[in-house]
């Protein structure tokens, strides 16, 4: 528990202090946001706002995580970083690097499009594939690896889908959620606030799995075969603290945007937590807002290709409401409420199997 608090506090402090420094640095170098011409007209006022703020989130998260473990080690308690925690951080950092390249090309070439779609997808696929291979390795003393070849909901379900099937599933899931957070990142504070709620849920989930681990409380009917539940809660707390610190400056009106650097990294970290806590399908509920916004894009594109008609004024969904006359802050707060309801529903389902049965 102490590691969770230390990681969250350190990353929060670093993000709160580091973000205004990044704002000044990026503004001085001209690292400002370019705006799509076809986007809502109200966004033109945001042109030139410093972007790539996701670098602060990634760096603060990494420092918070490693400082927490360093404090523990220096306190004469052996608690080194775990395979599960390091793999989730690798996924976050790797996808953040892909996003950073995308953001930098946008800035360097002064356009709203960065990496070509094929190159961007290729980077996401490569990082996802490496994670898929490594997450099946590193067994602990109980032969439990960070993940196994099963689809999971509240825990692993059904038969194994095999190595190839699992790798395809991992890559699809990671690319899907990293792009989902990226699509959600269209209004000030929307993606960062919604991600904070999901990360808070994973702090609770990791802590609960620790208290009911099959390796510590015995092989009860509801115990969890999760390799490193405490360290996954530490990872979630570190990224949560960094996100909260960033949100202070990203809330409407935003002084800085996270860019693809932040959105891809945050999508990666919650996907990684879903695999290592064995709650993959539960994330679809916890991150319901991301799923809804992604579905709005799929519906819009599918409808236009099939019927040449649009369902929404503009996709993703948040821009439909902008063009319908809603104020940006109204959309953000109401979407945060939807995200909170999704997290509450997901946590309710997670704890449901522990409710006394009459």
Q: Please give the annotated binding residues, written as ranges.
A: 182, 260
How far apart (Å, rounded) are the C-alpha atoms in residues 281 and 287? 10
- Nearest Cα neighbor of 239 from 1, 3, 15 is 15
Phi, psi of 48 (to 5 degrees): 95, -10
Taken in order 46, 98, 133, 89, the sign of the CA dihedral is negative
**Cα 108 from Cα 69, distance rounded (Å):** 38
Cβ-contact 292, 284 below 8 angstroms = no
* Cβ contact 53:262 at 8 Å: yes
User: Smallest Cα–Cα separation from 344: which of 187, 216, 204, 224?
Assistant: 204
Give the C-alpha separation, 229 to 221, whole Å. 18
Distance, in Å, from the CA atom of 181 to the CA atom of 191, rounded to the nearest integer, reads 6
Contacts with 314 (C-beta within 8 Å, 6 or more apart), sequence order: 39, 40, 320, 322, 323
Please give the annotated binding residues for Mg(2+), written as ranges: 182, 260
Give the separation between CA 239 and CA 269, rounded to whole angstroms: 8
152 neighbors 114 (Cβ within 8 angstroms): no
Q: Enumerate the β-bridge partners of residue 156.
A: 152
Kindly provide the b/e burial profile for residues 159-187, where b requires at least 16 CB atoms within 10 angstroms of the residue's own CB. eeeeeeebbebbbebbbbbbbbbbbbbbb
Three-class SS state of 121: helix
Q: What are phi and psi of 224, to 5 degrees?
A: -110, 130
DSSP of 235-247:
HHHHHHHHHHHHH
């Amino acid at each position: 528990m102490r590691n969770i608090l230390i990681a969250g506090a350190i990353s929060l402090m670093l993000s709160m202090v580091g973000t205004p420094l990044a704002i000044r640095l990026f503004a001085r170098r001209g690292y400002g946001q370019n705006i799509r011409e076809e986007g809502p007209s109200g966004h033109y006022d945001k042109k030139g706002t410093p972007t790539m703020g996701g670098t602060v989130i990634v760096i603060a998260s990494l420092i918070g995580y490693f400082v927490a473990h360093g404090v523990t080690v220096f306190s004469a308690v052996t608690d080194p970083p775990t395979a599960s925690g390091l793999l989730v951080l690798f996924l976050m950092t790797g996808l953040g690097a892909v996003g950073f390249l995308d953001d930098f090309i946008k800035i360097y070439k002064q356009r709203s499009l960065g990496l070509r779609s094929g190159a961007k997808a290729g980077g996401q696929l490569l990082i996802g594939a490496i994670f898929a291979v490594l997450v099946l390795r590193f067994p602990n003393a109980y032969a439990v690896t960070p993940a196994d070849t099963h689809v999971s909901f509240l825990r692993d379900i059904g038969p194994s889908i095999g190595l190839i099937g699992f790798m395809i599933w991992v890559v699809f899931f990671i690319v899907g959620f990293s792009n989902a957070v990226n699509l959600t990142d269209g209004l000030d504070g929307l993606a960062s606030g919604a991600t904070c709620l999901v990360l808070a849920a994973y702090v609770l989930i990791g802590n609960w799995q620790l208290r009911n681990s099959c390796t510590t409380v015995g092989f009860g009917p509801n115990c969890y075969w999760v390799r490193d539940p405490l360290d996954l809660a530490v990872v979630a707390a570190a990224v949560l603290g960094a996100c909260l610190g960033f949100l202070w400056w990203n809330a409407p009106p935003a002084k800085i945007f996270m860019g693809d650097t932040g959105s891809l990294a945050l999508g990666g970290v919650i996907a990684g937590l879903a695999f290592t806590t064995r709650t993959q399908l539960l994330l679809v509920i916890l991150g319901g807002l991301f799923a809804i916004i992604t579905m709005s894009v799929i519906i819009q594109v599918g409808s236009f290709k099939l019927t040449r008609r649009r369902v929404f004024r503009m996709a993703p969904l948040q821009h439909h409401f902008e063009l319908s006359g809603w104020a940006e802050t109204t959309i953000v707060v109401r979407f945060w409420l939807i995200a909170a309801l999704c997290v509450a529903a997901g946590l309710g389902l997670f704890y449901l199997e522990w409710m006394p049965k009459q």
